[in-house]
Amino acid sequence: MVDTKIISYYFLKGVEKKMNINKLALIIFFSFSSIVSASYEAKKAGMSPERLDKIAPLLSKYIDKNRLPGLITAVSRKGQLVHFEVQGYSDIENQIPLQKDSLFRIYSMTKPVTGVALMILLEEGKVRLNDPVSLYIPEFASTKVMKLNKDGTYETVKLNKQITIRDLATHTSGIAYSFTANKQLKKVYDENKLSPYFFIDNISLAKNGIDSFATSTKAFPDICTFSAALASKAPLMHQPGEKYTYSMGMDVLGCVIERASGQPFDKFLKQRIFDPLGMVDTSFDVPKSKVDRFTNLYASPRGVRRLSPELSKSIGNNKSMVLVDPALKSPYLQEARLFDGGSGLVSSTKDYLTFAEMLLNGGKKGKTRILSRKSVELMSSNHLNKSITNNPKYPEGMGFGLTVGVVKDTGLAGQYGSNGKYFWGGAAATVFWIDPKEELVAVAMTQLLGSPWPLRSDFEALVYGAFDD
């Protein structure tokens, strides 16, 4: 008599085997289809698929040589996403791979977001570029300017003109950062804790790096309290409009936007930019539901000295990368209350690519319009006069728009791309650029404070080297 259990067993195994073969065939089919589709999209966008495929392997040297923890690179041209690659780790110590939707501290790449918020209010007639900042923050009406004496002391003198909104948005206000201030102004900033950021005064060494490097609170309860204190307690380093000094002026813009719009800065960004564009992963803190996607922050001992002497002293020089802000202990996990428009946002590669594509498309993404085309053109035009850009200390061939750097002459600047390309980066080596002439957007995300590596120039060369039209 035939055992039906045995027959059933072999029948099911045969079906399972057949199913596995079919499953494998489907995987191969869809993988092949994906490759063909990506190749078609690249060619449609005037890009070489073969050269695009070289971007990630050639940039992997930064991962392999332990120079960067992980890296995501993304490129969109002519409306086609032609490159999106992920490599390395979000957590080196625990070997946790970086993911497509990992969250990054974008630091100064917050500034262009603040710039778009400013342009929205300009379109609505709620602010004007030549408005005095004191119209929104009265304390700036009586701000003084530092005048240095030969013996290193200083006195203060009156403003030649009021600081304007344009001055804040172009880093020409005379406000500085601690790392761009002269030693006299830095002392004033330090003594009065004049910063809207997490203070690096909580450094404790851990086995694999630093247990934490920043306090979980900020020195001021909100951005307007900070702005008023900055105006009343610190002089300007120079007269407004006289020089370019990279500064906390973008943070002060956050207060201007709050008062001109009648909304908290974070809510304005969410309602007017993030929600309409579907930027669901961009905010001033990391919610509990997304902690597993947040990345560790590392620092380069070689490169961090200029940004933070305090941190540099603590991390030593015996490594190329040191863990300074573990994702699970970061102050970004606390609910944000002070919203700093110069440096405060966390975002994903996809979100920032969406934001940049909106700008490339003349202020519109899909059916959603954030700005008019003319507003984007104004934002990305050079606003610095020749007395500033002709200064030998200012990079040749470059200008500055409203919160973004602008390439005026690619030859003099020694950069790939087109005249009119605009860009910015963050302190942890994140970077993006938009080339309107070539209908191109590129974004790179990593997490290394004080990076000494030429990631941006390498990435640019590879992207423009993939052009095939």
Give tens-digit pLDDT for 154-176. Answer: 999 999 999 999 999 999 999 99
This prediction's pTM: 0.90
Kindly report the number of other CB atoms within 10 A of residue 180's CB atom: 17
Residue 29 has pLDDT above 90, yes or no: no
Residue 6 has pLDDT above 50, yes or no: no
Coil, strand or helix at 422? strand
User: Whole-angstrom Cα distance, residue 320 to residue 297?
Assistant: 13
pLDDT number for residue 21 = 61
Coil, strand or helix at 434? strand
Q: Which helix (H) or strand (E) holds 463?
A: helix 455-465
Are 284 and 410 contained in the same domain?
yes
Encode pLDDT of 363-403 as tens digits: 999 999 999 999 999 999 999 999 999 999 999 999 999 99
Are 60 and 207 contained in the same domain?
yes
User: Whole-angstrom Cα distance, residue 242 to residue 223?
Assistant: 26
Mean pLDDT of the chain: 91
User: Whole-angstrom Cα distance, residue 181 to residue 243?
Assistant: 13
Are 369 and 400 contained in the same domain?
yes
Are 131 and 198 contained in the same domain?
yes
Coil, strand or helix at 286? coil
State the residue for tokens 């409009």: 241
pLDDT number for residue 466 = 98
- DSSP 8-state secondary structure symbol assigned to residue 98: P
Are 64 and 201 contained in the same domain?
yes
**Which of 6-10, 38-42, 281-285, 363-367 shows the lowest mean pLDDT across its residues?**
6-10
Coil, strand or helix at 18? helix
Are 58 and 191 contained in the same domain?
yes
Coil, strand or helix at 76? strand
Largest Cα separation within the chain, whole Å, is: 111
Are 153 and 39 contained in the same domain?
no
φ/ψ of residue 243, rounded to 5: -145, 165
Residue 308 has pLDDT above 60, yes or no: yes
User: Whole-angstrom Cα distance, residue 379 to residue 390?
Assistant: 21
Domain boundaries, position 118: 51-465
Are 146 and 22 contained in the same domain?
no
Are 65 and 39 contained in the same domain?
no
Encode pLDDT of 410-460 as tens digits: 999 999 999 999 999 999 999 999 999 999 999 999 999 999 999 999 999
Instruction: Give the model's confidence band at 10: pLDDT under 50 very low, under 70 low, under 90 confident, else very high.
Output: very low
Are 431 and 363 contained in the same domain?
yes
Q: How many helices and strands in the chain, by DSSP H and E?
A: 17, 19
Are 147 and 28 contained in the same domain?
no
Are 9 and 86 contained in the same domain?
no
What's the average model confidence in pLDDT over 58-71? 97
Encode pLDDT of 222-237 as tens digits: 999 999 999 999 999 9
DSSP H helical ranges for 65-110: none
State the residue for tokens 């300074």: 324
Which of 38 and 175 is assigned the larger pLDDT?
Answer: 175
CATH number at 313 reads 3.40.710.10
Beta bridge partners of 435: 440
Encode pLDDT of 67-101 as tens digits: 999 999 999 999 999 999 999 999 999 999 999 99
Residue percentage of the chain with pLDDT more than 90: 82
Domain count, the chain: 2
Encode pLDDT of 165-205 as tens digits: 999 999 999 999 999 999 999 999 999 999 999 876 556 65
Coil, strand or helix at 430? coil
